[in-house]
């Protein structure tokens, strides 16, 4: 809710108005995003993007005063989990499945969902 009357991008927003951020639209802004309609996560690999709230293209923890209080713990936990999974298991696609099943085609919504659930074979490769 807006705490004071203001103007944003030419729109008058009165004090106490409930406002909703149109995330769907922001994510598809053609002048901002390359391949705006595509599920193309690699967009964040081809340039240097800070995930800690400095670069507004990618804000997994939010930004500013109300950003995630557990950001450092979250980053370390995810890194530990993923590195353990990669270290301790061999990962492969399910044999015989058509390869297009594994393409990351998406279902559209407020957020994007993977269209075909990803199935993989997981084999432990450490004794423990």
Those residues whose C-beta lies under 8 Å from the C-beta of residue 16, and which sit 6 or more positions away, are 1, 2
Binding-site residues for heme, in ranges, read 68
The DSSP element (H or E) to which 106 belongs, if any, is: strand 106-107
Binding-site residues, in ranges, read 68
Is residue 69 a contact point for ligand HEM (CB under 6 A)? yes
The DSSP element (H or E) to which 78 belongs, if any, is: helix 71-88
Is residue 105 a contact point for ligand HEM (CB under 6 A)? no
SS3 assignment, position 35: coil
Binding piece for ligand HEM, criterion CB under 6 A, among 5-13, 20-28, 39-47, 65-73: 65-73
Is residue 78 a contact point for ligand HEM (CB under 6 A)? yes
Least distance CB 116 / ligand HEM (angstroms): 25
| Contact pick of 49, 67, 111, 120 for ligand HEM (by CB under 6 A) | 67
Quote the Cα angle for 110-112-117, to 5°. 135
Judged by beta carbon, residue 13 or residue 59, the one nearer ligand HEM is 59
Rounded to 5 degrees, φ, ψ at 65 are -65, -25
Enumerate binding residues for ligand HEM (CB under 6 A). 60-62, 66-70, 73-74, 78
């Amino acid at each position: 809710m807006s705490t004071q009357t203001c103007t944003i991008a030419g729109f008058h927003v009165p004090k106490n108005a409930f406002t909703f951020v149109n995330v769907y639209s922001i994510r598809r802004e053609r002048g901002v995003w390359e391949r705006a309609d595509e599920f193309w996560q690699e967009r964040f690999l081809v340039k240097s993007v800070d995930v800690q709230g400095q670069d507004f293209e990618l804000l997994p923890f939010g930004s500013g005063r109300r950003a995630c209080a557990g950001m450092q713990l979250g980053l370390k936990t995810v890194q530990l989990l993923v590195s353990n999974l990669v270290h301790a298991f061999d990962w492969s696609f399910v044999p015989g499945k058509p390869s297009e099943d594994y393409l990351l085609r998406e279902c559209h919504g407020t957020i994007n969902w993977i269209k075909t659930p990803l199935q993989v074979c997981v084999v432990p490769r450490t004794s423990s």
